[in-house]
Amino acid sequence: MTAQTEAELGLETETMTVREAIRQALREELERDEDVYVMGEDVGLFGGVLEVTSGLLEEFGEERIRDTPISEAGFMGAATGAAATGTRPVVELMFSDFAGVSMEQIMNQMAKMRYMFGGKADMPVTVRTTEGGGMGAASQHSGTVHSWIAHFPGLKAVVPGTPASAKGLTKAAIRSNDPVFVFENKMIYEQSGEVPTDEEFTVPLGEAAVEREGEDVTVVATQRLVGESLGAAETLEGEVSVEVIDPRSLYPLDVDTIVESVEKTGRLVVADESPLSYGTHAEIVARVQEDAFFSLDAPIQRVGTPDTHIPFSPHLEEEVLPGDDDVRAAIQRIA
Amino acid sequence: MADFDLDSADGRREALRRMVTIRAFDEEAGERFADGEIPGFVHLYIGEEAVGVGTCASLEPDDYIASTHRGHGHCIAKGLDPKYMMAELYGKAEGYCNGKGGSMHIADVDEGMLGANGIVGAGPPLATGAALTIDYRDRDQVAVGFLGDGAVAQGQIHEAINLAATWDLPAIFVVENNRYGEGTPVEKQHNVDNLSDTAQAYDIPGVTVDGMDVTAVAEAVAEARERARAGDGPTLVEAQTYRYRGHYEGDEEPYRDESEIERWKDRDAIESFRDRLIERGELTDDEFADLRSAVESTIDDAVEYAKAADPPEPSAAYEDMFADRPPELDRFAATARPDGGANGGDRR
Ligand SMILES: Cc1ncc(C[n+]2csc(CCOP(=O)(O)OP(=O)(O)O)c2C)c(N)n1
């Protein structure tokens, strides 16, 4: 059973995959606002290497679905300058591992312009990018770097874990006047679920979803690990009652929903595919410690990638990538 | 029409006034910095005035420019007010960036000024982006990205120009070749003789002009602007110029000798343009003296204004991060304050 936020309650839905949900979000926003356009490597003719934008070129034409040269710094900077001057680019960064190539424009221009200019620039840019291991793509195409962006002041970061949040977050990102990174886990593009069809449906940045209600342990899970955690919770049914929360947005972070749950359960597992040191897990843990220390009945558990890169061999990849087993074991350690 | 036009006598006098204003502003900024009144780094534009003013003479007020770390001259050439610029240098609330940018980041997007920039080579990609907006919205404008000779070696410059070229965007890239990148001479940074030769790689026009001659710069930019507006894409303009001062104020300049500086001063852009106007009978010595003293009082007023202006409220440090303020800013700003905040402990 899924407990969605109010925004999602009572809306008509349709079953679709995460990939289709994002494509529908792009299509709807392209239709709604003429200032919105998509740019990136191979987003047009090719349809996006992971096929998210496929078909959009035929629908919207070359002005609005723009293939760029292979120059991440150049097009990330162009998107920044374009956003500062009033249009609303949606950039596809093919793999999040390539962010480094464009990091100057992201961290020193996109993130800082509004602040350094004393508020005199809007920055309505959306960066969609893929994360995660599981495809045997080896370490230069499998990273999970959202903690970098969520950590960096001036940027917002969202991490959809379901088709509905993929659509709603993408639309909210495009409508935002702040720079928002949408981190799409490439292993869940094929996952399907119910998605509101209402064109005005968005998931506000900074609003978590309680994906499953429970009494004994709170699991805060992101991206692919939302599904894995729901699976783990299912198999523990009768033994442990697990509440699963998808924060959906890492910055801003909906601490209230998480704390409310921890106050009820007294136990917390944080499951996120990024490396464990100094990252997303630590942030969620710190916020809960600050706000609900005395509600905790057991040590907080973290599930993530053990500070390694993602190896190529499926045997090794399986070893380092967190999954439902890891979530289940973490729950059982403290239940 | 540009807000000053070198084809008219009034416009020529305005160009001269802007060049004189840039020099006076920067001389004053240098002194105030030496007196310890201005924090941070200050990079002066003295000697290079003809490039910024020549470029802006061929732009319309709503065209965009993206500047460099040596940005005061570009701001004045674009028509920004020295008063608010000086207030920004002093870190005051009334500065262009409310005291959050300082010398290296003065910006006013509404005036078409996309910011000076602390990162060498970062402005041209932003100019490409502004040109993308112009193209996307079918507007009759252009965007200029300024860069130094040193910045020509930066990778993102190549990406920005190539992108603007492949998309035929209305951008103009103006290289200010002042012969040094900090202390390294241009010959040690590039193999080509003229930096405009690099334009060949993008199949766009590249021209090298005398950057001590305001009309030569203006003509090249005017032609580039026509081309850009016609949908024919960007042009690379190299203006050969020279900075009289050190790289930054306080630079001891072990890398060059005084005689080289003197040689360039013989061709000073302001003096030669003034002399030309006098020769043409458009200006008298007295008129020039008046112009200069008017500029000086503008700068004095700017300093007075900056000194008297209020510093920003401490709470302004937490403003302007986002259009839509996230709860984190209140949460952490509160605990950062000496009086502590609500988040120092458990809710209970
Ligand atoms: C990416 C980057 N690298 C290095 C610096 C330090 N730096 C500041 S100005 C400068 C020299 C730039 O030379 P040039 O582009 O020729 O401009 P000029 O100072 O001559 O106007 C350097 C190396 C910087 N600010 N940014």
Peptide bond into A322 cis (omega under 30): no
Q: Do B96 and A251 touch (CB under 8 A)?
A: no
- Chain B residues whose beta carbon lies within 8 Å of the beta carbon of residue A86: 133, 137
Q: Is B106 helix (H, G, I), strand (E, B) or coil?
A: coil
pLDDT digits (tens, 9 = 90+) for A153-176: 999 999 999 999 999 999 999 999
Q: Tell me, what DSSP letter sits at residue B96? A: T
| Ligand 1: centre distance to CA B185 (Å) | 12
Q: Is the per-residue pLDDT at B344 higher than 60? A: no
pLDDT at B340: 57
Q: Is B178 in the pocket of ligand 1 (CB under 6 A)?
A: yes
Q: Is B126 in the pocket of ligand 1 (CB under 6 A)?
A: no
Q: What is the mean pLDDT of residues A32-45?
A: 97
Q: Do B346 and A293 touch (CB under 8 A)?
A: yes
- The two tokens of residue A89 are 């680019």
pLDDT at A6: 45
From the CB of residue A7, how many other CB atoms can be counted at a distance below 10 Å?
18
pLDDT, chain B, mean: 95
Q: What is the mean pLDDT of residues B65-93?
A: 98
DSSP bridge partners of A244: A212, A219
Q: What is the mean pLDDT of residues B22-35?
A: 97
In this structure, the dihedral spanned by the alpha carbons of residues B225, B228, B232 and B235, taken in order and rounded to 10 degrees, is 70
> Which candidate, B223, B299, B231, places its Cα nearest to that of B55?
B223
What Rg value do the Cα atoms of chain A yield, rounded? 19
> Which candidate, A268, A216, A278, A275, places its Cα nearest to that of A247?
A268
Q: How does B35-61 read in b/e, with b if 16+ C-beta sit within 10 Å?
A: eeebeeebbbbbbbbbbbbbbbbbbee
pLDDT digits (tens, 9 = 90+) for A61-111: 999 999 999 999 999 999 999 999 999 999 999 999 999 999 999 999 999
A68 contacts: CB under 8 Å, gap ≥ 6: A39, A40, A41, A74, A75, B163
The CA distance from B325 to A68, in Å, is 32
Q: B156, B203, B331, B343: best mutation site toward chain A, by most A Cβ within 10 Å?
A: B156
Q: Do A71 and B324 touch (CB under 8 A)?
A: no
DSSP A207-234: --EEEE--SSEEEEE-THHHHHHHHHHH
Q: What is the mean pLDDT of residues A192-205?
A: 97
pLDDT band at B229 (very low <50, low <70, confident <90, very high): very high
**Is A203 in the B-facing interface, judged by CB distances under 8 Å?**
no
Q: Do B100 and A118 touch (CB under 8 A)?
A: yes
Query: What stretch of H or E contains B290?
Result: helix B285-308
Q: Is the per-residue pLDDT at B118 higher than 70? A: yes
Give the nearest ligand 1 atom to B148 CA. Answer: 15
pLDDT at A10: 75
Is the pTM here over 0.90, yes or no? Answer: yes
From the CB of residue A163, how many other CB atoms can be counted at a distance below 10 Å?
27
Query: What stretch of H or E contains A20?
Result: helix A18-32
Q: What is the mean pLDDT of residues B237-243?
A: 98
Q: Is A315 designated active site?
A: no
pLDDT digits (tens, 9 = 90+) for A264-315: 999 999 999 999 999 999 999 999 999 999 999 999 999 999 999 999 999 9
pLDDT at A18: 98
Q: Is the per-residue pLDDT at A1 higher than 90? A: no
Q: A75, A115, A151, A176: best mutation site toward chain B, by most B Cβ within 10 Å?
A: A115
A231 contacts: CB under 8 Å, gap ≥ 6: A324
| Greater model confidence, B338 or B18 | B18
A78 contacts: CB under 8 Å, gap ≥ 6: A39, A89, B125, B126, B128, B129, B132, B160, B163
Q: What is the mean pLDDT of residues B206-233?
A: 98
